[in-house]
Structure 1
Amino acid sequence: MTTQNPVYASQAKPWLKYYDQKFIDQTLPALSAFEYVCQRSKNHLNDTALEYYGRKFTYADLIVNVKKTAAALRGAGVKKGDIITVVSIMTPEIIALFYAADMMGATLNLVDPRYSVEGIREYIEEVDSHLLVCLNVVYDRCSQAARRTNVEKVIVLSPADSLPPAMALGYKLTTPDKNKYASNVIRWKKFMAGGKDQSTAAEPYDPDHACVVVHTGGTTGSPKGVMLTDDCFNGIALQFQAYPKLFHRGQKLMNVMPPFIAYGFACGIHLPLVLGFTVIIIPNLDPAKLGSLVLKHKPEHMFGVPTHYQQLAADPKLRDKDLSFIINYAAGGDSLSRGAEQTVNDFLAAHGARYPIAKGYGMTEVSSAATVAAGLDNKPGSVGIPMVNTVVAAFEPGTDQELPIGQRGELCISGPCLMKGYYNKPEETAILLRRHPDGRVWAHTGDMGYLDEDGFVFLDSRIKRMIIRHDGFKVFPSMIENVVSRHPAVHQCSVVGCADKDHVQGRLPFVYIVLKADTTAKKKQVIRELERMCAEELPEYVQPVAYKFIPSMPMTPVGKVDYRQLEADISPRDY
């Protein structure tokens, strides 16, 4: 009898069979993010780069606007190495600002405009910004936050600054700006005029330059500023070129993600601009209007979160519509249960889309994406294969001991898109980024999962979402969610841990359910059927302790299910 030798993902890289050799051999360009967009678009300057409420900007327009914005930043006193705090949604000005700061060696500190005064102040102080850029609708909070900091000037922009003229007038009439501005405030148009005699020269490419600081709780839960470099952004864009059957110059991508997450800028802006797409900017998505927006713009591509696609599949406006224009609608940022994946795929197939929902997996610290399931290279329940120049492997949690393919462990990621580090937090950086004996630097994700023999990655759960029972047995929420989500009455479900009333320690799995709007099923009947499904398909120690119906899932600001809120909402009466 022969025993099979273990196969290790980092050496075997079985996923490379899905890629053309020229993409496997490609190397990162030694360019800034802005230079990469310029290089890729130099023969296509009249193509449309951005569309904002019907107003179109060509690639030539974008490049001119970026250079003018860089000159304006110099006019405002910004120098190489400065960090500018930006509190805004996605607008053409914010995109120009991103590339302008990049071009002159400055950095954007991107902050969610929904944060409190204290939250915004902490992020300003963390990076010691002297310049603050904010949206007029959050000026009051931002001006309070900037007090007692080193902010000297505040540049204020309006969502109307790039609207078509008639629409801009309508916006100003219906949403008048009632702010009382301090003397250090410069409105966007005046700011741009201040760059008239300033240089538009670019700083030379610097591999250590951080384009942005984006904020995340990361794997340890405390807020951290993640520094992402030009190579991080270019690495994402370069690797997505390895899907030539899906991505073609001239296609449209609808960007619904905000600028203050890596996913929003890396996948929603820089990637499509490098690929020569038109980016349709949806700055403040109303989820109820997503179906109408898809029908209006007919974008071939979209990067969103799982709830976006569940919303589309349930939208009555799309019931009899032809959606054959859809090529790559990708769900990232949160786990997609098998039942939800099947529902979305059935919807796409019934409406003429040629491919199932695309999926991806990553984290802010690797610039958003590390794996991709796109086109027909897709397996149900998987988050895809590693991108062409990226390596993913499972390790004994917290160690550099790689586990063979097929074994569950902590997923670690190595490749061109690893962050530079956490801003001013070298100890935390050293916990997440570690050099292993193989010479590679690996990001330790804190996620449990495994790779199959083809290199497809299967994600169990974040280590911190794992539910550990009193007897030490570990329950991964996805095990239960994959069963419960298949019930025909279930629209969404989430599993969290609750206290074990019968033991001094340990937690038990508790299921939250959102029913489909059109279901006629009675709740008690649904629970009986779910109990039977779980009893038939799951081990005894994984059985949920209770089920609770809620009208909708609480969401974090970036569209993920708020598991902490769900845990906090469980009362002793619920089980």
Structure 2
Amino acid sequence: MASSSSLVSSPTPTPTAAASVPSIVRGTRVVQLIETPLSSLVEDCAYRFGNRTAVCVPWQNINLSYRTLAERSRMMAKLLLGAGLKYGNIIGIMAGNRYEYIETFLAGGRIGCPVVLMNNMFSPSELEHAMGRVNVSVLVIASNIGPRNMEEHIKCALSRPDGPRHVVVLGDDKNWGSDRACHYDSFFADANAKATDMELAAAESRVVVNDILNLQFTSGTTGRPKAACLTHRNILNDAMFVGAAMKLTPVDVVSCPPPLFHCFGLVMGFLASFYHGSSIVLPSDTFNAEKTIESVLRERVTALLGVPTMFFAQLELLDKQKGRFAPFTTVRTGLAAGAQVPAQLMNIILKRMNIPSLLIAYGMTETSPVTFITAIEDTEEKRFNTIGRVLPHTDAKVVNSRGRILPIGQRGEICTAGFPLQRGYWHDEEKTRDVMHEDEHGVRWMHTGDEGYLDADGYGYVTGRIKDLIIRGGENISPSEIEGRLLEHPLIGESCVVGLEDKKYGEAVACFLKASDETQGCRPSDVELRSWVSKTLGRHKEPKHVFWVGDEGVGNDLIKTASGKYQKHLIRALGNGLLKKSSPPSAKL
């Protein structure tokens, strides 16, 4: 299961008068859901927003209006049909944030060909496995993603006899020595290969709102990724509600550094902007703090999106190069999601980046991805410390290990239901049954794997991943509250807390830290850190082991997915390995 889209560092709940009230909430049903497929939305937006800029890609020197994007997606759809694609065939794409990515996604959606988004960090063998797993018919792949050369990936795709029928390469017009390979511009310009308007209309007429639009590989923060099947109904409605929470309109400009291969970039970024007639800016191929800041200033951005590590990087750059960048004056809102969002970080963003109403969104890949979101009208306390309330047409409950609903204020597993839930994992009924269960009323619930609770006003709080909980001497410890406390220390820029093997207690608290850039690498001692944690948390939550980025064996950064989430299973393995290296060898018998 993917880790949640946002974990807010939350206080331990205190009993309230509502303690006997069950932890179950139901989103409003007043708002009407979208019940038409993507092609209808594309044409409707082209009609309503016409020549307004839909997509701005400064690093490619590209601006596409709503009308032009509709025309180009229509052309690409005809070319895919002309290349032999049929309803249900799979299109794969592996690329950075670029305009061709969006054209390909829209084109596939038009003709009923699900688009599988490949993680930009896949190795050639991982790409090969993913293509085989979902049987990709056409692969659109960039020759370079950021500084990374993709030649081996392209060769791998072309070497499979049962691989994609067509490999369409972005960026490089190299001759790949195969009649299955061509450059995107050549593919797009081949007018003789396209289907007719009548054939396109026939293909579009087959597509219904509950068809799979998007195959999203889960982020892999807890293990091997699975392919979540998301429908037109899932992600178009999720995008509509996320954009509504940000109050997006045709005068807004949204900067979207998160990758398009993740639900954050594609749904919360592009589609949320697109539905509401806003302009979306893709500042760079892969995340670049400098280009993101420049895009905010140059394009007069009104909404900025990012995972916490992206905001950390921008804050570090602004501190390093004080005076180089003008203050932000146009950004009125945005989204922080994708990983733990500590209240301390929210406060810093408000004060130092001048973003008055940054929202928190919570969910998971399997739920399209957002199920809870804060509101611009919420108090600062709610925006900083909660995940907000459920979306319309969405339900949530908190249950114990036996599946029984807990009272308000008690911690348990967060479960969600409603329109955002995936169809299931691609060709994996067993894994689907593991996480999606029907209750006695026939309602299907997604078990998120996140621990949290609801308050009496319906706001959600996430206290950690159930699998990430540290079990020390039989006591459950939430890493997120320790991470939040560590991030309040002025010398700490990033923190990741995991449980490492311990002979006495089973697991011991360990923290991996990155020094705050503005302190020029100064570090508190281990004793100081433990004292800092125990001032507000119990002594059993003090980190026994402290590791710093840059030290021998730790590496130059905390291990993250391509979308910026900490890969805790790998960080845990690294920590256990470092402990074994530092321990004296056992005496041989």
Class of the TM-score when normalised by the shorter of the 2 chains: 0.7 to 0.9
Shift of residue 468, structure 1, vs aligned partner = 0.8
Does the alignment pair 1:180 with 2:176?
yes
Deviations 1:271-318 (A, max 9, x none): 110010111123322234432332222311132101111222232346
Determine the structure 2 residue equivalent to 1:478: 480
Does the alignment pair 1:544 with 2:546?
no
Distance, in Å, in 1 between the alignment partners of 2:573 and 2:178 is 41
Distance, in Å, in 1 between the alignment partners of 2:441 and 2:174 is 60
Determine the structure 2 residue equivalent to 1:203: 205
Determine the structure 1 residue equivalent to 2:126: 119
1:122 to 1:362, Cα distance in 2 relative to 1, 3 A: same
Let me know the Cα RMSD of the aligned residues: 2.5
Q: Secondary structure at the match of 1:292?
A: helix
Q: 2:497 aligns with which of 483, 495, 498?
A: 495
Q: 1:412 aligns with which of 415, 429, 448?
A: 415
Shift of residue 482, structure 1, vs aligned partner = 1.8
Where do 1:222-301 residues align within 5 Å? 222-240=224-242, 242-243=244-245, 246-282=247-283, 283-301=285-303
Query: Letter of the aligned partner of 2:386 in structure 1?
Result: S
Q: 2:397 aligns with which of 385, 393, 398?
A: 393
8 Å contact kept, 2:19–2:407: no
Determine the structure 2 residue equivalent to 1:144: 156
Does the alignment pair 1:8 with 2:8?
no
Determine the structure 1 residue equivalent to 2:586: none
Determine the structure 1 residue equivalent to 2:68: 61
Compute the TM-score of the two structures, normalised by the length of structure 1.
0.87
Q: Secondary structure at the match of 1:101?
A: helix
Shift of residue 267, structure 1, vs aligned partner = 1.2
Question: What stretches of structure 1 move > 6 A for 4+ residues in a row?
Answer: none
Q: 1:566 aligns with which of 563, 571, 576?
A: 571
Shift of residue 242, structure 1, vs aligned partner = 4.0
1:318 to 1:381, Cα distance in 2 relative to 1, 3 A: farther
Return the structure number with greater relative CO, CA threshold 8 A, min gap 6: 2
Determine the structure 2 residue equivalent to 1:168: none
Shift of residue 494, structure 1, vs aligned partner = 1.1
Deviations 1:85-104 (A, max 9, x none): 22222322221111111111
Query: Letter of the aligned partner of 2:166 in structure 1?
Result: V
Deviations 1:140-185 (A, max 9, x none): 32332443352353332324xxxxxxxxxxxxxxxx7555331221
Does the alignment pair 1:88 with 2:84?
no
Shift of residue 566, structure 1, vs aligned partner = 2.2
Distance, in Å, in 2 between the alignment partners of 1:243 and 1:479 is 27
Query: Letter of the aligned partner of 2:510 in structure 1?
Result: F
Q: Secondary structure at the match of 1:42?
A: helix
Distance, in Å, in 1 between the alignment partners of 2:516 and 2:53 is 39
Distance, in Å, in 2 between the alignment partners of 1:197 and 1:429 is 37
1:41 to 1:536, Cα distance in 2 relative to 1, 3 A: same
Does the alignment pair 1:50 with 2:50?
no
Please, which runs of 5 or more residues in structure 1 have no aligned partner? 17-22, 160-175
Bigger shift: residues 334-343 or 456-465: 334-343
Please, which runs of 5 or more residues in structure 2 have no aligned partner? 1-15, 145-149, 551-556, 584-589
Determine the structure 2 residue equivalent to 1:532: 531
Query: Letter of the aligned partner of 2:65 in structure 1?
Result: T
Compute the TM-score of the two structures, normalised by the length of structure 2.
0.85
Bigger shift: residues 93-102 or 556-565: 556-565
1:41 to 1:393, Cα distance in 2 relative to 1, 3 A: farther
Q: 1:308 aligns with which of 307, 310, 323?
A: 310
Determine the structure 2 residue equivalent to 1:510: 510
Q: Secondary structure at the match of 1:455?
A: coil
Deviations 1:30-89 (A, max 9, x none): 211231232244222121111122421111101111110110001100011111222222
1:440 to 1:242, Cα distance in 2 relative to 1, 3 A: farther
Distance, in Å, in 1 between the alignment partners of 2:82 and 2:428 is 32
Shift of residue 213, structure 1, vs aligned partner = 1.0
